[in-house]
């Protein structure tokens, strides 16, 4: 499998610039992109946007609206390093911050930001991607957020 292309480093980027980079690439030369955040919408699982709305946004026929849950999104983003810390503590794996915006090696519209990367503590030292996500559950009625951490071995 070919390595993805590193398009830019997003560290320190304000949200508006980051969203522009994700929408059209850092040079603005991509007509449209599809990222991990779009997948739930494409499959009809996003409660805040329909697949048709996403299509219209990607084709420039509609402007994206502000999310109805900005506080939740901010909290989820702030909790990612905490979830990664405890994942590393539980597994012994080395957690690596990664603020790059990547493009698939052969599918130019496929972009991704990773929450973190990790390296296994085993002798093999396999490397992978660590995705930290807040998930809704019965805890929502208690005002709590449960964090799920998934790993993908590269």
Tens of pLDDT, residue by residue over 66-116, are 888 788 778 888 889 998 998 999 999 999 999 999 999 999 999 999 999
Structural domain count, the chain: 1
Is 140 within 8 Å of 134 (Cβ atoms)? no
Give 136's pLDDT tier (boundaries 50, 70, 90): low
The better pLDDT of the pair 8, 136 is held by 8
> Where does 53-125 show beta strands of DSSP type E?
94-97, 100-103, 111-113, 116-119
Task: Give me the domain span that covers residue 19.
Answer: 5-153
pLDDT at res. 93: 93
| Residue 75 tokens, joined | 């909290």
pLDDT at res. 33: 95
Distance of CA 8 to the CA centre of its chain: 15
Nearest Cα residue to 112 out of 1, 5, 16, 28: 5
């Amino acid at each position: 499998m070919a390595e993805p292309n590193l398009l830019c480093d997003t560290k320190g980027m304000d949200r508006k610039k980051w969203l522009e980079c994700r929408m059209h690439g850092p040079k603005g030369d991509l007509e449209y992109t599809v990222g991990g955040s779009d997948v739930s919408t494409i499959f009809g699982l996003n409660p805040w946007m329909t697949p048709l709305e996403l299509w219209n946004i990607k084709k420039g026929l509609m402007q994206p609206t502000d999310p109805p849950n900005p506080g939740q999104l901010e909290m989820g983003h702030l909790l990612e390093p905490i979830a990664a810390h405890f994942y590393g503590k539980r597994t012994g794996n080395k957690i690596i911050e990664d603020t790059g915006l990547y493009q698939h090696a052969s599918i130019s519209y496929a972009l991704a930001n990773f929450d973190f990367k990790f390296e296994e503590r085993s002798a093999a030292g396999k490397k992978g991607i660590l995705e930290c996500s807040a998930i809704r559950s019965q805890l929502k009625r208690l005002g709590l957020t449960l964090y799920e951490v998934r790993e993908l071995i590269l």
